Each structure stands twice: as C-alpha cells, then as structure tokens.
Amino acid sequence: MNEAKKGCCIPRREGGEASPSIVLSQSTTCAKPGETEGMIRVDGGKYRIGYEGAGAWESDGEGPFREITLDSYWLDQTAVTNAQFAEFVEDTGYLTESEKFGWAFVFIGQLSNSKQRKLRETKTVQGLQWWYAIEGAHWRKPEGAGSTIKKRMDHPVVHVSWNDALAYATWAGKRLPTEAEWEVAARGPENVQTMYPWGTELEPEGKHRCNVWQGDFPNNNTAADGYAWTAPVTAYRKMDGGFYNLVGNVWEWCADWFSPTWHVPASDATRINPKGPARGESRVMKGGSFLCHESYCNRYRLGARTGNTPDSATTNLGFRCARDV
C-alpha cells in the first residue's frame, strides 16, 4: 500500500479556527449516574493489542504488539444513537461545535447531484475531494439543509466532535474509553489476535459482519452489506463479547491523544497513551467506518488506528462511552 498517497479517508478542520467554547447548562446533572444499563462489563487482566504484518499502516503506529494490563471497566454495547444524543440536548440545551462553526464535512455520495454540481471545486477538501464542507450540516441535519434524522433515530449520532462526545459522556456520568479499552473490547473475551473480531476474513462464508464500503471507492458504493451510509447501531451479528459494530459503521472517538510513537507510562500501565506531536493536535479514533475499503483505507482492522483534531466532525464519526467499575 502506498502510504504516501493514501492516508485516512476522514478529513479534519484546518486553518487555525478557534474551537467554540463548550459549556453545559449550570442546571445540568448526570442523566443516570452510576447506572450501567446498556453497557457490558469487560474484566480486567493482561491483554495484547496492536498489529504487525501485512496490511499494517506503520505510519499510524499500529505496531509493535503491546502487552498491557487493564482494570475492569464497562463499555456501551452500541455507539451512542441519535435518540440518546437528542435526550442529552433536550436536557442541557447543548450546541455542538458543528452548530457553532456553522458547517461540517459531508461525504460527496450523500449529497444530491444538484448540490454536488453547485459546490464542485469550491467546497471540497484538498487531497480528499470526496468531502465537502457543508454549511448548516450538524447532527440533526447530517447532510445539511433539507436533511433529517427522523428515520435514523437508532443510527449512531454523527457530526460530533471529540469535545461534544466528552460533554455527552460527562452528562451521562460516564467517560470516553481509552484506545486500549476499546481494542480489548473489540477483540473479545479470548483476546483474539486475528484481523477482525470474527476471524481472518472480512466476509466469512460470504456473510457481511459489518458496514464498510463495497464497490469502487469513492465513486460507487454497491451497498451489498445492506447500507450505503450509516446503519442502525444494532445492525449485523453481535460480536462474541456482546458488543455491536465496534468495526465499521462509524469511527469512534477514544480518550487518548494520537501519535504514531507509543509508550506505556510507568505510573499507570492501565492507560496506554501515545507520546509525540504537540498535545491537543489529534485524538485517537478506532474502528473504521462505512467509507473504509481495502483499496484506500483498510482501517476497519482490530489493530488499526488514526487520529483527528478534537473539533473535527463528519458524517462517519461517532462514539460510545465507558465507565469505571
């Protein structure tokens, strides 16, 4: 794979824009403090994460393999849905960063042909020409003016920045998972060392197990897996650990700072934090999305990883929450 030409399929906010202030209402309280409904417990212990070998993106810092120790924790069974995020917004009056900026990134295929013609060459992202900066796009209107989530309330909420995800997690009495926690959950109770949670093949026996791109990326998505864009959070077969869609559908924010250089802090072996570029540059994202394809961005593998600026938001980026035991 030519890494010099093919980076991640997800864009980031650029240009030194100041991130709008993130403030919750003074009357805001945690939604369900201490409750673990809809979460799965992952037992603490020693685990192995990371990836080396064919298909690895060395520039992402997938390797080397790392032996880690984690305390027990809880993790949401699914990504946070539009319905759940709507409850948070109704309770707090929260405005996402996309709403404050006034725009967010939308994949070209999700736009009407007329809108594509109107915006072509004026709102595209350099080097990632399949992304458009669409005015008025945010979590309630994923494709901008005229779009709606009314029939997607059970789909993962998108156009949420890392800062937005953290605000939701705080309200819910939870937190964002570390990268290590996310990957251990995805690998399942047996800590499988395969390419995917279910084995070495993306489509075992021709069956679709996750929502990724089929066809010619980025021009033609056949949607052979049943969904062209996002799918309901409980779509596809449940993983061995009981989770849904930790691979594919939407990228998921993690708590960690992103860097291709890894180290294990001597003071806390349960938190695996990258060390390298200036802190705050990027946060870790895991799992890939409906846009990932082996011809360009095969980061739907268990050990794959990438990062994005904490204020970035797109139509293929969501999150789920964790909680300490």
Residue with tokens 């998921």: 252
Q: For residue 267, is it within any domain?
A: yes
Q: pTM (2 decimals)?
A: 0.88
User: Is pLDDT of 6 > 60?
Assistant: no
Q: Which domain holds residue 89?
A: 41-97+151-324
CATH number at residue 59: 3.90.1580.10
On whether residue 277 sits in a domain, the answer given is yes
Q: Give domain status of residue 123, yes or no.
A: no
Number of domains in the chain: 1
Q: What pLDDT was estimated at residue 153? A: 98
Asked if the structure places residue 227 within a domain, the reply is: yes
Mean pLDDT of 53-73: 87
Residues 6+ apart with CB under 8 A from 313: 13, 96, 97, 98, 104, 105, 138, 158, 159, 160, 161, 164
The better pLDDT of the pair 133, 138 is held by: 138
Residue 280 in this model has a pLDDT that exceeds 60: no
The verdict on residue 114 lying in a domain is: no
Q: Is the pLDDT of residue 233 over 80?
A: yes
Query: Model confidence over 144-171: pLDDT tens digits?
Result: 999 999 999 999 999 999 999 999 999 9
Q: With beta carbons less than 8 A apart as the criterion, state whether 143 and 110 touch.
A: yes
| Domain membership flag for residue 20 | no
Reported as a single tens digit per residue, the pLDDT across 172-215 is 999 999 999 999 999 999 999 998 999 999 999 999 999 999 99
CA 18 from chain centre, in angstroms, equals: 23
Whole-angstrom distance, CA of residue 104 vs CA of residue 136: 7
Q: Is residue 293 part of a domain?
A: yes
Say yes or no to pLDDT of 47 above 60.
yes
Residue 117: the pLDDT is 65
What pLDDT is stored for residue 260 in this prediction? 76
Q: Is residue 112 part of a domain?
A: no
User: Which stretches does DSSP call E strand in 92-149?
Assistant: 103-107, 124-125, 128-135
| For the chain, percent of residues with pLDDT exceeding 70 | 81
